[in-house]
């Protein structure tokens, strides 16, 4: 009985560590983007009240999205610069994700600059 439970949780731990090694950065970037999106939605609720609070919450959300896009770009650049076959699905996925994260980076950087300009 005890060995069965140990074996079951042991395989869960091994599978979890493999998953985190394989998808760790992707999960991290998705989580940061989700946090940034929630913060930007929350800032919309403050729009009627204090505009200073709205801008601060919006900037924090945009900085979360900017950080996530930078981490995603670094992760994809590491995959693209490795000696991986150019026809592999992982390479093509990294290539597409580079363009997507680049677009997210540009939009969030524009949002940060626009928010700073509207505050001043």
Question: For the segment 40-75, what is each residue's pLDDT rounded down to a tens digit?
Answer: 888 888 766 677 778 888 899 999 999 999 988 998
Task: Give pTM, 2 decimals.
Answer: 0.76
Residue 16 pLDDT: 55
Quick one: three-class SS letters along the chain?
Answer: CHHHHHHHHHHHHHHHHHHHHHHHHHHHHHHHHHHHHHHHHHHHHCCCCCHHHHHHHHHHHHHHHHHHHHHHHHHHHHHHHCCCCCCCHHHHHHHHHHHHHHHHHHHHHHHHHHHHHHHC
């Amino acid at each position: 009985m005890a060995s069965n439970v140990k074996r079951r949780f042991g395989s869960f731990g091994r599978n979890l560590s493999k998953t985190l090694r394989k998808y760790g950065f992707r999960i991290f970037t998705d989580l940061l983007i989700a946090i940034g999106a929630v913060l930007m939605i929350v800032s919309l609720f403050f729009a009627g009240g204090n505009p200073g609070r709205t801008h601060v919450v919006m900037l924090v959300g945009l900085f979360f999205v900017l950080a996530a896009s930078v981490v995603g770009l670094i992760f994809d650049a590491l995959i693209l610069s490795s000696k991986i076959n150019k026809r592999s699905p992982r390479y093509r996925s990294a290539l597409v994700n580079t363009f997507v994260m680049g677009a997210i980076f540009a939009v969030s950087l524009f949002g940060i600059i626009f928010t700073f300009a509207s505050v001043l």
